[in-house]
Each structure stands twice: as C-alpha cells, then as structure tokens.
Amino acid sequence: MTVQFKPAETFRDTFTYKKSPEDLLRFPFPFPEDSYMYSVNIEPHVRGGPTAAFQAVFDIDEHYIAECKERARVLAEDPKRCQVLPHMMTAEWDTLELIMESLAADYPEHFTLSKDGDAWTWVNRPLGIQQSFIFGKAETLPCGPFEYITRQAQGDFTLQDQREDNLFVDGGMVTTQADWSLEFDIGMSFHEWHGPVPLAHEKGVFDRALKYLLRLQYGQPVRRLNWTMTVNPRLDTSPENYPVWGPDKASVTPQNVADKVHLRVELQTLYRLPRSNAILFGIRCYLTSVADIAKVPKWRRRLHRVLRDLNPDIAAYKGLPRFREMVVDYLAPLDDGAPTSAGIAPDIDKIEA
C-alpha cells in the first residue's frame, strides 16, 4: 500500500484534518447492525476484516505524521499524559518490542528494525528517526521505552498488570482520548476505571469481559470497536482540557452539523505480553465527519437508525444530547428505509464524487 502522508493537517485551532476517499473507505465503522447496545463485542484480532483498517497489527494511515506531531504537542503541554508505574518496566520493553516488530513487518517501506543481540537499531522513515539502543537498558533511549515507541504510534495505549485475579491500569500514553484521564485512572482496577459507564455493569458486561481478559493468551490478541461523537476533528478531548473543547458543543447548528460533528471510533486491541504477562491495550482513534459518512449509503442509513433509536442513558454518557437531534435530522432524508447488510463493510469500493 502506498500511503500519502499529510504532515501539515491539524487536530485543533485550524482543524485542517480531512479524509481522502481511500481513507474514508478504510474507516472501521462501528455498527454491525441498525441498533446499538452494550455487549462484550470482543473478537480475535486477525489480519483482514471488513475494511483496510484491520490489515495490520497496528494500523498506520495517511494521518500518521500529523498525529505523532499532535501527540508531541500534547505531551509538551502536559507531560502527565504519559505515565508508567515503576513495576511495569518489563512491560515497557515488551511493548517496544511488539510495536517495533509489528510496524517493521507490516510496513517495511516505512520502518526497519535490525538487531545484533541486544544492540538494536530502529529506523522510522516518516518521522526521520534513526535510533540505536540496547534492549533492556532504558538509559540508552531518549525517554522510557514505552513513551519512546508510543510517541511513534497512532492511538493511545495503556498497560494493565494482572494480579489478584484483576487487571490494574498501571501505565499509559493517553493523548487522543474520549474524555477520560490517565492521571485520574492510573492504578485503578478493571471495575473501578469502568465505573462511569451506564447500563453495562447491570448487564454483567464487565464481569464477563474481565474473566475473558484474565484468560487472554499470548499470541492470540483480540479487538473490539467502541464509539462516541466529537465536535470538530479534535483528537485530544481530555477532561483536563474540557474548557478548551467543551464549548464546541454549543457551536453546532443545522447548517454546519454535517461538517462539525464527527463519529469517533476506537479500534481497541488487547495483547498479552511475554516477559511481563501484562496486557497492552491499544485504543486507536478514527474520526469521520457525518458529511463523509453520508457518502456511503449503507453507513448513512445505519448511523441514522442507530442515533434515532439510541438509549438516552447511553446518549447522555457519550455527551451527545446537545447535537444528536440535529445529526438525526440531517441524516433522516438520506435514509431511504432500504434494508442494510449485516456487518460493518461499506459495500462500495469507490466514493462517488
């Protein structure tokens, strides 16, 4: 695949972020059916899948360079967006190994990893990085191994330690988050950090998901899709910065709704790590405007139906009430009532101009 990177696009202030037609078709649309409710929607993370976003272990797209720049800006303003507790150092190296090996194998034109025993050299051509270091010796890298490699990956990552039959979020790189805070959650157990989610606790979703993840096996990663909606293509919607982005919600009007409101999808992946037995949780964020979604007939029909019938508690938790009605009103005339096929694939291979 030949990706044309767009290094100058922005995710704040000027918001020049845009999707090419190819990028739109690879979007991991999150709704496999015309209605939505919480479930343990976890499946094996195998190569392939309904769109091109599922082709690699860690997906790289045309926004790679711009996203890495945005991450660096967020970290410069607030270094606490990356924190790892001291007992997770082994998991940090596990993460670096997994991400470097996966990127080098999936994108040999962009990344190269060479090894001579513990002496490794990493080349990241899109970001213009060449780094030699000793695996296992943190002082040979410019920063901790987890921070080093996740500065060069799209999406957020957290590290979960497994002990006492529970998972604890003991580290993370969190700069593209949907309104949650690593600084607040770090050290929490599985049910603690999922505390705010409505309905799902009562349905036993988290009890089952925890049991499943405690058994997650090395070499058998799993994935799920999660979603919300964000005004403007803003990656960093953190509680710390709520005063910056919260007021955006009031800027949505029936005239600008399609361009302003974005469906925000997280392709979440979970990997058991070998040395540490920790779990690496990847939260890869994809933003697509309602106007772009409207270019795909199946997706616009389905998004209309899902939002129209959405449980009000879920809508409130996801912060949609200020603009949900406007999105539904925009999409309603575009939904001809035709049945939609099961699954998330766009069912077209070209976007009509």
Partner 1 sequence: MTAAQPFSVRVREIVELAPSLKRFSFEPAHGGAFPTPPAGGHVLLTLRDGARVMKNAYSLVSPPSERARYDIIVRLVAQSRGGSSFLHRRVAAGDVLEMANPVSLFPLASTAKKHLLIGGGIGITPLLSFLPELKARGARFELHQLATLEEVPVFERLLAPYAAGEEIRVHGGGRAAFDLAGLLARQPLGTHVYVCGPHSLMDAVASTAAALGWPKGKVHKESFGGDVTGLPFRAVLRKSGIEVEVGESQSLLEAIEAAGVEAPCLCRGGACGQCATSLVEGEADHRDDFLSAEEKAAGTLIMTCVSRARGPRIVIDL
Q: How far is the CB of 209 from partner 1 (least distance, A)?
A: 6
Residue with tokens 């070209």: 350
* Nearest CA among 238, 283, 239, 294 for reference residue 261: 294
Q: Does residue 215 interact with partner 1 by CB under 8 A?
A: yes
Backbone angles phi, psi at 184, to 5 degrees: -80, -40
Q: Choose the binding region for partner 1 from 70-78, 124-132, 210-218, 305-313 (rule: CB under 8 A).
A: 210-218
Please work out the total of residues on this chain that contact partner 1, with binding judged by CB under 8 A: 45
Burial class from Cβ neighbours inside 10 Å (0-12, 13-18, 19+) for residue 269 reads buried
Q: How far is the CB of 208 from partner 1 (least distance, A)?
A: 4
Q: Choose the binding region for partner 1 from 155-163, 228-236, 284-292, 313-321 (rule: CB under 8 A).
A: 155-163
Q: How far is CA 78 from CA 66, 85, 232, in A?
A: 18, 17, 21
* Nearest CA among 29, 45, 54 for reference residue 223: 45
Judged by CB under 8 A, the residue of 10, 112, 162, 189 near partner 1 is 162
Q: Which of 12, 151, 215, 224 is catalytic?
A: 224
Q: How far is the CB of 299 from partner 1 (least distance, A)?
A: 21
SS3 of 151, please?
coil
Number of neighbouring beta carbons within 10 Å of residue 274: 13
Q: Choose the binding region for partner 1 from 13-21, 89-97, 143-151, 334-342 (rule: CB under 8 A).
A: 89-97
Q: Does residue 275 interact with partner 1 by CB under 8 A?
A: yes
Q: Does residue 89 interact with partner 1 by CB under 8 A?
A: yes
Length of the chain, in residues: 353
Would you say 141 and 103 are in contact if contact means Cβ atoms under 8 Å apart? no
Q: Does residue 91 interact with partner 1 by CB under 8 A?
A: yes
275 as an active site residue: the answer is no
Active site residues: 224
Interface residues toward partner 1, by CB under 8 A: 39-47, 57, 87-91, 94, 97, 102, 117-118, 135-136, 161-165, 207-209, 211-212, 215, 217-222, 272, 274-278
